[in-house]
Amino acid sequence: MYGKKIKKISYIIILIYFTIGILDLITYQDSLGARRSLLDGIFIHGFNIQKERTYTEPLGIYKKPNPYFESPKGFHLLGTDINGNDVLLLTLKGSKTALLLAFGVNLIAFPIGILLGLIAGYFGGLIDDIIQWFYTTVASIPWLLFVITFLMIFGRGMFWIILAIGLTSWVELARLIRGETLKIRELAFIRSAKVSGKSTFRILIEEILPNTTSIIRITFALSASQVILAETVLTFIGIGIEPGSSSWGIMIAEAQRELMRDPPIWWNFFSASFLGILPLILALNLIAEEK
C-alpha cells in the first residue's frame, strides 16, 4: 500500500519539475521589449520578486538586518546570490536544463540502443557478434574522458553536452533489449507471426518492441537521473553548462567558494542540492524500481 503511495508521490514530483521546466521554456516579450520566460514573469510580476544588489539572507525581510548583508528590497524565501538573483528562482530554472538534458540525451541514446538491441537479439549469429563487439568497445571507453575530450573539441554548448552524453548512454539499453529479444523470439506468438507472413520489420515493431516497454521505462528513469548528475559533475569541474545559464551544477560550483566565506553563504548549495537535485533523482529512482 505504501509502495503505491510513494510511486504516486514520485510521479507528482516529476510532473511538478516537468511543469516548471515547460514554464521556463515558454517565453514572451514584456512591456519593456525584453524576452522573459513565463516562470520569470510569475516571479517578477506575480510575486514582485526584485533583483537585489548582492547577497541577501533567506527570510531576510523578517529578520533583524545582518550587518554582513544588505537589507533586501523584497522578500526572498531562500535569499539571493552574489549577483542579487533570487536563489529559489534560480533553483526552479534549473529544471529547464534538467528537462532538456534528460529528454535530449535519451532522444539520441534510446533509438540507437533499441534498434541495435532488437537487431542483435532477433537475428543472432554474426550480426549479433558484430553488434556485441561494437557496444563492448564503446562501453570500454571511459565516458567521462570521452565527454571531456568531446566538449574540449566542440565547445560547452547545451547541444554538444547532450550529443556527447547521448553517444555514450545507449550501451546498457542495447544489452537489455538484446537479452529480452533473445527470449521473446523463441515464444509461440513470434513463430505464429512468421508463419502468417509478417515481415521482419513488423515483427520487431509490432510484436517484440511492445514487450520491452518495461525495460525502456525503467532505463529511461535511471538514465535521466544519471544524466542530471553527470551534468552537475561536469559543470562543477568547469566543462559543463556555460556560466550565465540556469543550472544546479553552476549553483553548486559557485557554492564551493561561498561556503568558505565568513559568514558562509550556504543557501546556494542547500537549494541546488536538497531542493533541486535530490527530490527529482529520488523520484526517478523510485519509479525505476517499480515492477
d(CA 150, CA 167): 10
Residue 16 vs residues 107, 148, 279: alpha-carbon distances, Å: 21, 32, 11
Percent of the chain with pLDDT over 90: 24
The grid coordinates listed for 64 are 533583524
pLDDT of 130 > 90? The answer is yes
Distance CA 243, CA 189 (A): 54
Instruction: Please give the angle made by the CA atoms of 265, 269 and 272, to the nearest 5 degrees.
Output: 140
Given 85, 100, 121, the domain boundary residue is 85
pLDDT of residue 119: 93
CATH code where residue 181 lies: 1.10.3720.10
Based on the domain organization, do 20 and 112 belong to the same domain? no
pLDDT at 107: 93
The yes-or-no verdict on residue 87 having pLDDT over 60 is yes
Let me know whether 69 and 93 are in one domain.
no
Compute how many other C-beta atoms are within 10 angstroms of the C-beta atom of residue 287. 21
pLDDT tens-digit map of 227-266: 888 888 888 777 777 776 788 888 888 888 888 877 788 8
Question: Are 92 and 114 found together in one domain?
Answer: yes
Q: The domain containing residue 92 runs over which residues?
A: 88-288
Q: Tell me, yes or no, whether 65 and 110 share the same domain.
A: no
**In this structure, are 118 and 76 located in the same domain?**
no
Q: Are residues 101 and 71 in the same domain?
A: no
User: What is d(CA 69, CA 266) in angstroms, rounded to the nearest whole number?
Assistant: 14
pTM value?
0.82
pLDDT in tens, 155-179: 778 888 899 899 888 999 999 999 9
Give the C-alpha distances (Å, rounded to integers) separating 264 from 57, 169, 233: 11, 38, 22
Q: What is the mean pLDDT of the chain?
A: 85
- Which helix (H) or strand (E) element contains residue 37? strand 35-37
Q: What angle do CA 52, 55, 58 make, to 5 degrees?
A: 95
CB 80 within 8 A of CB 54: yes
| 288 contacts 222 by C-beta, under 8 angstroms | yes
Among the candidates 50, 85, 120, a domain finishes at 85
| Strand-strand pairing, 35-37 and 27-29 | antiparallel
Q: Say if residues 79 and 60 touch (Cβ distance below 8 Å).
A: yes
Same domain for 12 and 99, yes or no, is no
Q: Are 152 and 66 found together in one domain?
A: no
For residue 30, what is the DSSP state?
-
Tell whether 226 and 134 lie within a shared domain.
yes
Q: How many domains, the chain?
A: 2
> In this model, does residue 197 exceed pLDDT 90?
no
Length of the chain: 291
Judgement on whether residues 73 and 101 belong to the same structural domain of the protein: no
Same domain, 131 and 42: no
* Greatest CA separation for the chain: 82
**Segment 44-51 long-range contacts (CB within 8 Å, at least 24 positions apart):** 48/74, 49/74, 49/75, 49/76, 49/86, 49/89, 50/74, 51/80, 51/84, 51/85, 51/86
Based on the fold, state whether residues 123 and 178 are members of the same structural domain: yes
Give the domain-ending residue among 47, 68, 85: 85
